[in-house]
Structure 1
Amino acid sequence: MYKIDESKDREKYILLIPAMLDYHFPLMKYAFYSKNYHPVIIDLEDNVENIGLKYVNNDMCYPAIMNVGQIIAALQSGKYDLKRTRVLMATAGDACRGSNYIGTLKRGLKKAGFEDVPVLNINVQGIAKEETMKVDIGMAIRALVSVYYGDILMILYNNVLPNAKNAGEARVKYDYWMDILATDLKEGRHLSVRWMKKRFKQISDDFATIEQNPDKKQIVGIAGEIYMKYCHLGNWDLEKYLQDNNCQAHTNGVTWYMLYYMDTHLLNKKSIITPFCRIAQRILANIQKKMIDEIRRNGFFTLDDFMTLKEKVRPYISMNYAMGDGWLVGMECAGYLLSDCRKVMSVQSFCCMVMQTCGKGMYSVIERRLSGKGHIANADIDTSGSRMNYYNRVHLLIHQN
């Protein structure tokens, strides 16, 4: 696999990517390096919401407003040569506002005076084919590997951070492994399944050396729509708020979403590629199971692998609704309660119709069917929403018996 030479990046186009997966994008960005592009994950936060509202209708969902706001803020910053800048937007392309992100972004860019900046997209639904970024095998491998590595680092970091005796040690370990894995991805080496399993063991063993306080804190699971769950901008720093309030936050990994998406969107279609998708799913599920085995071997908390969890929660949720995050949200909520994690906070955008119908329709049913196992709270996040009310909702969950 080709090496990434960052010294030649001055000759390339800048590829601006709005934030979404806090733990994964620092590694995943290496999948988008090519002979033509140098990817940049936008880290601007100040006034992003207001900029988004200026160029996007406030009836759009919160992730769309924040993504467009970040992109326009980056273009307005003066840091980039607009003639050598491109924008990349990923979308699931489902029957929700996510399928309109590209058009929404283009209208926002035009209104802001950046209509000449090209917009590329990545999706598997065939939306805007002429503007879809071509993905080669090297990009696909780097992206897949980075998703697994992002998962294990996120899960282990959140396991050890709240109980570590030495403040800052968890972050040192996290940064150390980020550097090593980034080097692997840049150089295109150690990306085989055998090496991934070896890395899982090394990472888990290294985090296990962090000395922990004996008094364990209560675990609060975070579930919900993908952007709101994984991006601190989307969930208003929910993870940090839980940690500051004497809790251990746990966010389930992106590989569960990946396998859910394959299960509901690719394997249910009659196509010539369906048999190959089934084989790919089995391989990816096997890698995930190995990752979980290594996490649990050292006593760390995580949910079951996707295949096991799906069968375990089948009596408690309906799996008929597969739009957007669909029954994945219910699966994770039920999975937490069945794993003795007694409290789950589910977050969604106020304007997300999929989450309003599917997610909210499941919570009370799951609590009734798993009576006595714990509590599921949910909160809508919107530009007009009150942060005080939001944190009060979380606070009530933390102190609920």
Structure 2
Amino acid sequence: MPTEHQNKPVEFTPAMREDYTILVPMMLPIHFEMIVQILRESGYRAELLRTTGRRLVDEGLKNVHNDTCYPALLVIGQMIDALKSGQYDVNKTALLITQTGGGCRASNYIYLLRKALRQSGFPQVPVISINFTDLAGGTGFKITPKMLIKIVYAMIYGDMLMWLRNQCKPYELKKGQTDKVVDRWIKIMNRQFSSGKFLRVGHNYREILEDFAAIERHREKKIKVGIVGEIYMKYAPLGNNDLENFLIKEGAQPVVSGVLDFCLYCLKNGIIDYKLYGGTKGGKTIKTLSLRYCQHWQNQMIRAIKKHGEFTAPTPFAELEAAVDGFIGKGAKMGEGWLLTAEMLELIQSGVNNVVCTQPFGCLPNHIIAKGMMRKIKNKYPQANIVAVDYDPSATPINQENRLKLMLSNARLTEEFGAAPAAGKPKPILDKTEPAAAIPAERDQRETVTL
């Protein structure tokens, strides 16, 4: 029979702050390096888990049903694997997870993790949950206003580094030079978060842009591929089989929007909820002011990139939000909600016609606002080359990569023979000097992208 201690969740208390190691699962490789450092500067002994490999999936399968949300399975597998590794004192270790608190399977992360801890023999390990409805992870863990401001800046700087990295790495002449610049700036920002110099935003932006511009690059034109999807699958290399680097190896340039857009989306949903369902004016005011504050810093980053002139700047959140008008209502906000549709539309409108939608298998919100919107998007933008890739424990990387390669083949054919015809219009006539049979019928752009 389970004891009372095993059934009752262990809370992270103030007494644990001094000598407990807090393990943080990896999601955003650039951003989380800075956020973990902010936790350390605030007095927590935080450590980022960088482990990869099939064993994490297998560990997750021992504790989580294979039909449960794949990101939850991966995060739990990574954490249990760390506890079993022998590298940590399990009686002096806590686990930290982030949750959006939305109406999807991800909201059960904390309960699944606590169950997995009991099953694996670690009932004494406390779990800290950071979410958008309660910034307290127990009486011993608090996100203070000072920490929250630093985390916002970490997301802004992280977005910029990620955005510029993907514009440089596919074109670098010296392999690894871009990653060295990224690593250098992560170290610089980590020092600045302890000194207050991170507030020199304009100066830092100029220095970052100059460092990336100094990377030796060729000017060969590459196919641009946008990445959208469920937040973990979109950003975490462990979840999407290192999708960004895979696309780079295949000769493409990945285009990935920043995580600040997701935070702005969550704040905007609070304002939308007030209009649709009512609520307190105070809550609406706080969300409105927070939205404006974050948009201000995002727009400053965009202006800095445009002023520099070497790189393409991301789209402001206000334009991203406006992109969905006439496509989907903003009351659709389960999972990534209308934001995912907005990202697909913004990519296509900005000339990135090739889009990979990453999603956990069986993720109902993503099937509705991703797969469910693809036909509507293609009706207006027939040149859209969208592929949805499902990730789950049984999916083999080779099958996922083949779908991506097919999408890239369609993109190259479109570039070679011209854009896909508009709906209802005849296909352009091929060069009469080339037999029509040279292009197999199954490669028709309009037929193969609807997967």
Give the alignment's TM-score, normalised by structure 2. 0.82
The alpha-carbon deviation at position 205 of structure 1 amounts to 2.2
* 2:338 match: 327
* 2:359 match: 348
| Structure 1 position 72 matched with structure 2 position 83 | no
**How many residue pairs align between the two structures?**
389
| Structure 1 position 364 matched with structure 2 position 380 | no
Aligned partner letter, 1:333: M
* 2:320 match: 309
Q: How much identity, in percent, do the aligned residues show?
A: 32
* 1:159 match: 167
The alpha-carbon deviation at position 66 of structure 1 amounts to 0.3
The alpha-carbon deviation at position 84 of structure 1 amounts to 1.4
* Counterpart Cα distance in 2 of 1:344 and 1:278: 31
1:2-401 equivalent positions in 2, closer than 5 A = 12-33=19-40, 37-46=44-53, 47-126=55-134, 133-185=141-193, 187-192=194-199, 195-265=200-270, 268-269=273-274, 270-271=279-280, 272-296=282-306, 297-372=308-383, 374-400=384-410, 401=414
1:126-154 CA deviation, whole Å, 9 max, x = no partner? 49975794211121012111101110000
Aligned partner letter, 1:395: K
CA 1:130–1:29: 2 relative to 1, 3 Å: closer
CA 1:222–1:302: 2 relative to 1, 3 Å: farther
SS at match of 1:268: helix
The alpha-carbon deviation at position 11 of structure 1 amounts to 5.0
Aligned partner letter, 1:94: G
* 2:435 match: none
* Counterpart Cα distance in 2 of 1:10 and 1:99: 26
The alpha-carbon deviation at position 347 of structure 1 amounts to 0.4
SS at match of 1:233: helix
Range with bigger deviation, 319-328 or 100-109: 319-328
Task: Tell me which structure has the larger Cα radius of gyration.
Answer: 2
The alpha-carbon deviation at position 260 of structure 1 amounts to 0.6
* Counterpart Cα distance in 1 of 2:87 and 2:137: 30
Alpha-carbon contact 1:163-1:216 (below 8 Å) kept: no
* Counterpart Cα distance in 2 of 1:131 and 1:73: 27
Alpha-carbon contact 1:242-1:249 (below 8 Å) kept: yes
Unaligned runs of 5+ in 2: 1-15, 415-451
1:264-302 CA deviation, whole Å, 9 max, x = no partner? 135533221321221221121011011122223333234
SS at match of 2:382: coil
The alpha-carbon deviation at position 371 of structure 1 amounts to 2.4
Alpha-carbon contact 1:120-1:132 (below 8 Å) kept: no
The alpha-carbon deviation at position 376 of structure 1 amounts to 1.2
SS at match of 1:397: helix
CA 1:160–1:39: 2 relative to 1, 3 Å: same
Unaligned runs of 5+ in 1: 1-8
Alpha-carbon contact 1:145-1:196 (below 8 Å) kept: no
* 2:423 match: none
* Counterpart Cα distance in 2 of 1:214 and 1:34: 41
* Counterpart Cα distance in 2 of 1:264 and 1:399: 38
* Counterpart Cα distance in 2 of 1:62 and 1:211: 39
Aligned partner letter, 2:212: F
RMSD value over aligned CA atoms? Answer: 2.1
Give the alignment's TM-score, normalised by structure 1. 0.92
* Counterpart Cα distance in 1 of 2:179 and 2:304: 20
